[in-house]
Amino acid sequence: MSFRQLLFAVLGFSVSSLAYAQADLVISDPFARATFPMAQSGAVYLTIENNGETTRTLSAVSVVDEIADEAQIHTTEMRGEMMQMRQVTEGVPIAAGQSVSFEPGSYHIMLMGLRHGLSEGDSVALTLKMANGETIAVNAAVKPIDKESNHHHHH
Ligand SMILES: [Cu+2]
């Protein structure tokens, strides 16, 4: 390899890593809550930041078979005095320059039909599916049970 080829290789590499760092959608702090071993459902939280020029919509989420039957997008709403979860089928729009947090009491990714609960230290492999066909792989670490927020997750 000549010096010129090497230079191009180095430049090519730095251009592609720059492009990665400037990806339109940035997923931060994905985590799941641990459950008791026989639990049928669990929740995953994360933040999606849209650094792009147009609104992007999260339309669906899938989870690996080893963890659960399916993943659903849920939101939590007040109905009278009651907090209730609702499955979101219309997608979650993230406006350009904005971020949306999936957090207790709000949007969350619900894992349905857990194989053997979620234990602290496990990781949950998810795929976020955007309305434009883009997919984003996410690994959510399992954190200890949070007794405060568990009452939102009775199915
Ligand atoms: Cu839920």
15, part of any domain: no
Determine, yes or no, domain membership for 3: no
Q: What is the pLDDT of residues 76-99, one digit of tens each?
A: 998 888 889 999 999 999 999 999
145 secondary structure, DSSP code: P
pLDDT in tens, 100-140: 999 998 999 999 999 999 999 999 999 999 999 999 999 99
Span from the CA of 106 to the centroid of ligand 1 (angstroms): 9
> What is the count of structural domains for the chain?
1
- Enumerate residues with CB within 5 Å of ligand 1 (an ion): 74, 85, 110
Number of neighbours of residue 64 by Cβ within 10 angstroms = 12
CA of 95 relative to ligand 1 center, distance in Å? 23
- Please report whether residue 53 resides in a domain: yes
> Can you give the CATH number for the domain in which 147 is found?
2.60.40.1890
Name the band, by pLDDT with cuts 50, 70 and 90, for residue 16. very low
Helix (H) or strand (E) holding 96, with range, is none
Amino acid at 11: L
Phi-psi region of 80 (alpha: psi -120 to 50; beta: other; left: phi over 0): left
Q: Is residue 7 part of a domain?
A: no
136 belongs to a structural domain = yes
13 in any annotated domain:
no
Asked if 150 and 118 count as a contact pair (C-beta separation under 8 A), the reply is: no
Least Cα distance to 75 among 41, 102, 107 occurs for 107
Structure tokens of 20? 């990665």
Please state the pTM of the whole predicted model.
0.79
Provide the percentage of residues in the chain whose pLDDT is more than 70. Answer: 79
Give residue 139's domain range. 23-153
Indicate whether 138 belongs to any domain: yes
For residue 131, being part of any structural domain is answered with: yes
Please list the alpha-helical segments (H only) found in 72-131: none
